[in-house]
Amino acid sequence: MKVIRPICADDLDILHQIAIDTGPGFTSLPDNRELLEQRISATQKALHSDIQKCGPEHYLFVMEETDTGEVVGTCGIDAAVGLTSPFYHYRIGTVVHASRELKVHNSFRTLYLCNDYTGCTEVCTLYLQPDARHSANGSLLSKSRFLFMAEHPQRFAKKVIAEMRGYTDEQGQSPFWDGLGKRFFSMEYSEADYLTGSGNKVFIAELMPKHSIYIHLLPDEAQAVIGTVHPNTEPARKMLESEGFRYEEYVDIFDGGPTLAIRLDDIRAIHNSRYQKANIGEVDASGPEFLISNTGLADFRCTKAPIDNSGSITTISQATADALQVSAGDTLRIVELKGRVT
């Protein structure tokens, strides 16, 4: 059984290995042990603080195999982006050039550097090891964050975003970067990606153009990948869209990947989740799976399993109870693992 829990200091080695495995484009996990250690410490500090309003806190979670203790994935939440350093996007807009005398009317798509998502909560740092990408483990890893946010809404903003990893080829090259960013930064994509992931974002404001960029002037290869995701990221995008996230015409300034957004209360797993009292017993294993979490903070746990419902009582197996660290009579938060957006 897989369970989601907050990251701890003992997870540094596996987190560093994940950072290496993810490669270029995974900005939120730089290959830097010191920075990763700081992010683990920031998670523990946030979880042990009495926080009553959204701030610059960072939360990292890991997926653990309960039988072996092996960590096979990670996911994260930034409670409010852009409060300690600028948070940049390109906003896609339209500019019209027209002449009544010449009877010419042309509209052009543009990219405009902006900070429009400042203060929003970001779900981020989603990575599942390849041999664990089955049995809806990806859904558990991604959506577990929503039950945590539902339980502690005061810690998060009213709007939630997710930056999707943009397209890069098999050699790790980004057509969008090569067609635009490289012309202003004079460095390779991997270097710029590492710098921003390490928190060094000053160079963006110093070197990026402040005026609108006409998309049709970019190379065809760069235009073609604007708003598209890396092939490995397509399942994550579909998963978020099934929760109600939508593309709002904002893209990453490095690889052109899309940013999805939604109001916190409109996320399906949050809107549809409910409290139940735990009962421990036999459960029909052939039934639909539910996301199930305890109501903890530093001891938050979330898993997926079939359940039996009867009124306000939910019966879970002993293995599920052990994974969640709950006993009979404790409060659970549950929601269907898969379902329509309401």
Residues 53 and 42 in one domain: yes
Residues 328 and 189 in one domain: no
pLDDT at 226 over 90: yes
Identify the domain containing residue 310 by its residue range: 272-336
Confidence of residue 339 (pLDDT cuts 50, 70, 90): low
Instruction: Please say if 230 is a catalytic residue.
Output: yes
Residue 332, domain CATH = 2.40.40.20
Domain membership flag for residue 249: yes
pLDDT digits (tens, 9 = 90+) for 27-81: 678 888 998 999 999 999 999 999 999 999 999 999 999 999 999 999 999 999 9
Residues 245 and 197 in one domain: yes
Domain membership flag for residue 279: yes
pLDDT at 342 over 50: no
pLDDT digits (tens, 9 = 90+) for 92-149: 999 998 888 888 889 999 999 999 999 999 999 999 999 999 999 999 999 999 999 9
Residue 11, domain CATH = 3.40.630
Domain membership flag for residue 140: no
Confidence (pLDDT) at 205: 67
pLDDT digits (tens, 9 = 90+) for 246-294: 999 999 998 999 999 999 999 999 999 999 999 999 999 888 999 999 9
Q: E strands, the chain, where?
A: 2-6, 58-65, 71-78, 89-99, 104-114, 121-128, 159-163, 213-214, 246-251, 258-263, 274-280, 289-293, 302-306, 308-310, 313-316, 331-336
* Overall pTM surpassing 0.85 (yes/no): yes
Domain membership flag for residue 205: yes
Residues 202 and 332 in one domain: no
Residues 197 and 321 in one domain: no
Domain membership flag for residue 39: yes
Confidence of residue 26 (pLDDT cuts 50, 70, 90): low
Residues 169 and 70 in one domain: yes
Total number of domains constituting the chain:
2
Residues 312 and 231 in one domain: no
**Pick from 8-12, 189-193, 265-269, 284-288: least confident:** 189-193
Confidence of residue 202 (pLDDT cuts 50, 70, 90): low
Domain membership flag for residue 223: yes
Pure H helices in 163-285 = 175-176, 182-185, 189-197, 202-207, 220-224, 234-242, 268-271
Domain membership flag for residue 139: no
Confidence of residue 164 (pLDDT cuts 50, 70, 90): very high
> Under DSSP, is residue 27 helix (H, G, I), strand (E, B) or coil?
coil
Domain membership flag for residue 57: yes
Residues 207 and 298 in one domain: no
Residues 303 and 212 in one domain: no
Token duo for residue 334: 């549950």
Residues 239 and 162 in one domain: yes
Last residue of a domain, one of 236, 253, 269: 269
Last residue of a domain, one of 214, 247, 269: 269
Q: Report which DSSP code applies to 1.
A: -
Average pLDDT, the chain: 92
Last residue of a domain, one of 216, 237, 269: 269
Burial tier of 154 (Cβ tally within 10 Å: 0-12, 13-18, 19+): exposed
Residues 55 and 84 in one domain: yes
Residues 299 and 191 in one domain: no
Distance CA 147, CA 157 (A): 15
Catalytic residue among 16, 48, 230, 271: 230
